[in-house]
Structure 1
Amino acid sequence: MDYQNYQPMSIGEWLITFIITYIPIVGIVMLFVWAFGDGTHPSKKTWAQATLILFAIAIVLGIIFATVIISMIGSMFGAMGTYS
């Protein structure tokens, strides 16, 4: 793909892009379309890929955090009967 023929995206195009991503489910689907589809502006394609990577990192960190918190709460409840 020849990226030299692309014009920079305008502010209006970016605003529409962000508004679309704020719509639940539609935004995630569109991120995948923009990240892996053909004919997407290179800037939008790279941005969508980076956003999906950040989402994946956030999900992994959220799962780790939730696991730690749940195990801490479980150990506190398990230790409640040992105090006299």
Structure 2
Amino acid sequence: MMTETNQSMAHPHENTLLEPQVPVVTVKEWIVTLILAAVPLLNIIMLFVWAFSQDSNPNKANLAKASLVLAGIVFSLYFFFSLLILIFSM
């Protein structure tokens, strides 16, 4: 007869508090996502929609948020170094 501790050791993740399961994003959905993210101007709009929509899959929302953060960092660095070059080339 298994005691409660033995049962929890046999299935350590059975009684843990987990966030609700979300559906897996299929390969087809990822391909459509990547194609839409490659189209200029549409990609920015779609990244904001996926990042902040309540209906978006959390995995896709996290990808969109990370992409927006990286794009912001790259744009800021580009702007900063462009100003430096402009200032020191005079």
Please give the range of the TM-score, normalised by the shorter of the 2 chains: 0.7 to 0.9
Give the TM-score taking structure 2 as reference length: 0.74
Q: In 2, are the aligned partners of 1:34 and 1:48 still within 8 Å (CA)?
A: yes
Report sequence identity in percent: 33
Q: In 2, are the aligned partners of 1:3 and 1:42 still within 8 Å (CA)?
A: no
Q: Identify the structure with bigger relative contact order (alpha carbons < 8 Å, sequence gap 6+).
A: 1
> Which residue pairs with 1:78 in the alignment?
none
Where does structure 1 differ by over 2 angstroms across 4 or more consecutive aligned residues? none
- Greater Rg, structure 1 or structure 2? 2
| Count, aligned residues | 72
For structure 1, the 5+ residue unaligned runs are: 75-84
Give the TM-score taking structure 1 as reference length: 0.79
Alpha-carbon displacement from aligned partner over 1:31-78 (angstroms, at most 9, x marks no partner): 00000111100100010011000111111101111011111211xxxx
What's the Cα RMSD here? 1.2
For structure 2, the 5+ residue unaligned runs are: 1-18
